[in-house]
Amino acid sequence: MDSLDFGTLFAALRGIPLDHQDRLQLRAWLATVDDAADAVTNCIALIEQAAIGKCCPRCGGARSHRCGHASGLQRWRCLACGRSFNALSGTRLAHLRKKEHWLDYLQCLLDSRTVRASADAVQVHRTTSFRWRHRMVGGFVHERAAHLAGLVEADETYLLESQKGSRQLTRPPRRRGGVASHRGIGRDHDCLLIACERDGAALDFHCGRGPVTGAALDQCLGPVLAPGTLLISDGAAAYRGFARRHGVGHEAINLRAGERARGAIHLNHVNGWHSRFKRWLVRFHGVASRYLVHYSGWRRVLETASLAAPPRLLAAAVKAD
Ligand SMILES: [Zn+2]
C-alpha cells in the first residue's frame, strides 16, 4: 500500500467513532504488526552479525563496498569480480522469504516438530515448512567438532534404505514398509557411523550401503582422531585394520562372545546415541536415505547444548557453505 492509500484510509478511520471493542481489535492488530516487524529486524541483525567479514561467494574476494539494500539485507559489490552479494548469498538460506518466522521455525526444529506441526505453529504452508526444514538443517549440520580425543567410542548403526518421497523407485516397492531382501546387513542398509568422546562431542558419518569398510573408516575417522586417542569398537576387522594403519590405540569389545565392558572399555555411549536417534526418528515415520545426513546432523545438533538456541542455529546456518 502506498502512502496516499494509507492517508485516505487513515482519514476515513479517524472519521469513524471507535467503541471499546473496535479499539481493542485495532490495538491487537497493531501489536501483531509490531511483533512481525521486530521479528524481521531481529532476524536480519543476527544474519548480518554472523556474516561480518564475509568474502565474495563467487570469487572469494575479500574487498567489497556497500551497494544499497535488498530484502532488508545490506548488499555488497565485490571489487574483484563486480558481482553483488548479501549475507545470505551462497548459503542454503538464500532466497527464502518470511524472515519474521525464521527464528520461530528454528525453535520448531529444536523441539523436533514434524513438518505439519511446524507449519501450523509458524503459520506457513506445509511445502514451505518442508523446504525450510531441509534448508535450515542442511545449513547448521556443518557445525561439528574438528577432532575427537581421549577415549573415543565408534560403532555403526544400520537403517533400511528408503526412497520415501521419490517419484520413481529404483527397486520394487516393499510391502508394509520395512523388511530387507536378505537377512543381516546388506546392500539395502544405509550405514551410519557414530564416533563419540566420553563426555563431549559426537560425530556422524554416512558410509554408504552395507557393512562399514576399512576405506570408509580411513576417510571418516582418519582425519578427526587426535593424537593419543584410544579408539573403542566392536570386534569388526575393519576397525583393527584402521587402528593399525593410522597408529591409533585400539581396544575391541567382543560383543559376539557376550562381552559388554572391561572396566572403562565399553560402547555404552555410542550405543545410547544410536538408540536415542532411532527412537527420535519414529515421529517422522521413516526418512528418505538421501536426507539421512540431515537427520543425523539434526540429532547431533540437538545433543549439543551449545547450539540449543534459535539465534545460535541461525548463525551456524549463515556461516556454513
Ligand atoms: Zn567476487
Average pLDDT over residues 260-280: 95
Cα(321) to ligand 1 centroid in Å equals 16
- pLDDT tens for residues 41-50? 999 999 999 9
Question: pTM (2 decimals)?
Answer: 0.83
Q: Which pLDDT does position 176 carry in this prediction? A: 56
Instruction: Report every protein residue that has its C-beta within 5 angstroms of ion ligand 1.
Output: 56, 58-59, 61, 78, 80-81
| Cell, residue 56 | 565474495
- pLDDT tens for residues 133-157? 999 999 888 889 999 999 999 999 9
| Cell, residue 143 | 557445525
Alpha-carbon distance of 88 to 43, in angstroms, equals 12
Helix (H) or strand (E) holding 203, with range, is strand 202-209
Q: Which pLDDT does position 296 carry in this prediction? A: 95
Q: Which pLDDT does position 14 carry in this prediction? A: 87
Mapping DSSP to helix (H, G, I), strand (E, B) and coil, where does residue 114 land?
coil
Residues 212-224 as b/e (b if ≥16 CB within 10 A, e otherwise) read bebebbeebbeeb
Q: Which pLDDT does position 307 carry in this prediction? A: 86
Residue 178 pLDDT level (bands cut at 50, 70, 90): low
Q: Which of 242, 280, 301, 277 is nearest to 158 (CA)?
A: 277
Q: Which pLDDT does position 182 carry in this prediction? A: 67
Cα(319) to ligand 1 centroid in Å equals 17
DSSP string covering 299-312: HHHHT-GGG-SHHH
Cα(269) to ligand 1 centroid in Å equals 46
Q: 148: which DSSP letter?
A: B
Cα(136) to ligand 1 centroid in Å equals 25
Q: Which pLDDT does position 141 carry in this prediction? A: 87
Residue 96 pLDDT level (bands cut at 50, 70, 90): very high
Cα(41) to ligand 1 centroid in Å equals 27
Cα(204) to ligand 1 centroid in Å equals 34
Beta bridge partners of 262: 265
Residue 105 makes CB contacts below 8 A (sequence gap 6+) with: 118, 122, 124, 129, 132, 136
Helix axes 310-319, 102-110, angle to 10 degrees: 100
Cα(85) to ligand 1 centroid in Å equals 9
Cα(112) to ligand 1 centroid in Å equals 38
Average pLDDT over residues 165-190: 70
Q: Which pLDDT does position 173 carry in this prediction? A: 67
Mean pLDDT (the chain) is 91
Cα(249) to ligand 1 centroid in Å equals 46
Residue 86 makes CB contacts below 8 A (sequence gap 6+) with: 70, 71, 73, 74, 75, 76
Beta bridge partners of 155: 194
Is the pLDDT confidence value at 104 over 80? yes
* Residue tagged 506445509 (cell numbers): 126
Cα(72) to ligand 1 centroid in Å equals 21
Is the pLDDT confidence value at 299 over 70? yes
Cα(79) to ligand 1 centroid in Å equals 7
Cα(89) to ligand 1 centroid in Å equals 12
Cα(51) to ligand 1 centroid in Å equals 16
Cα(318) to ligand 1 centroid in Å equals 18
Is the pLDDT confidence value at 84 over 70? yes
Is the pLDDT confidence value at 180 over 70? no
Cα(94) to ligand 1 centroid in Å equals 17
Q: Which pLDDT does position 272 carry in this prediction? A: 96
Alpha-carbon distance of 153 to 156, in angstroms, equals 10
Helices marked H in the chain: 3-15, 20-50, 102-110, 115-122, 126-140, 214-220, 237-246, 268-281, 292-302, 310-319
Pairing of strands 151-160, 230-234: parallel
Residue 290 pLDDT level (bands cut at 50, 70, 90): confident
Alpha-carbon distance of 230 to 71, in angstroms, equals 50
Q: 211: which DSSP letter?
A: S
User: In this predicted structure, which of 24-28, 115-119, 122-126, 223-227 has the lowest mean pLDDT?
Assistant: 24-28
Helices marked H in 141-267: 214-220, 237-246
Is the pLDDT confidence value at 321 over 70? no
User: In this predicted structure, which of 26-40, 74-88, 224-238 has the lowest mean pLDDT?
Assistant: 26-40
Q: Which of 63, 100, 98 is nearest to 82 (CA)?
A: 63
Cα(63) to ligand 1 centroid in Å equals 8
Alpha-carbon distance of 204 to 190, in angstroms, equals 13
Q: Which pLDDT does position 115 carry in this prediction? A: 95
Asked if 89 and 95 count as a contact pair (C-beta separation under 8 A), the reply is: no
Q: Which of 202, 206, 156 is nearest to 302 (CA)?
A: 202
Cα(81) to ligand 1 centroid in Å equals 4
| Cell, residue 141 | 549440520
Average pLDDT over residues 275-289: 91
Cα(207) to ligand 1 centroid in Å equals 35
Q: Which pLDDT does position 286 carry in this prediction? A: 79
Is the pLDDT confidence value at 231 over 90? yes
Residue 25 makes CB contacts below 8 A (sequence gap 6+) with: none
Cα(75) to ligand 1 centroid in Å equals 13
